[in-house]
Amino acid sequence: MLRIVPRKILRFTELNRYLTGEYFVRIPEEAFTEEFSSEFTEIMNKFPGKFGIHITIESKKYKSLNLHPRTLKVFPDVALHRFLAKIENSNQRVSLSF
């Protein structure tokens, strides 16, 4: 029998200090506009965290364009999820680390 004993119990509001990982976003080329960029940057500044962001833009000219800003880190909050869910044909995925 495997028994797991937690070392520490955290509040949900404390998670952004401890969780790290990667946040993957796939959007169509048409959705990647200046308006999208400014709103996305604004949300990322509101919810800083330790998650690296990977943006894949599906393009007609190229198969895909991959953006991976190394200096921008985010916590995948509900506001970010809702913003990206509004984009048609978008896809989101989160990879967690402790």
Q: Give residue 80's pLDDT.
A: 86
pLDDT (0 to 100) of residue 91: 86
Tens digit of each residue's pLDDT (9 = 90 or more) over 14-39: 777 778 889 899 999 988 889 988 99
Question: Residue ranges of the domains in the chain?
Answer: 18-97
3-state class (DSSP) for residue 69 = coil
Rounded to the nearest 5°, which phi and psi values hold at 90?
-95, 160
34 contact partners, CB below 8 Å, separation of at least 6 = none
Q: What is the pLDDT along the chain (98 residues), one digit of tens a residue?
A: 777 777 777 777 777 777 888 989 999 998 888 998 899 888 888 888 888 889 899 888 888 888 888 888 888 888 888 888 888 888 888 888 76
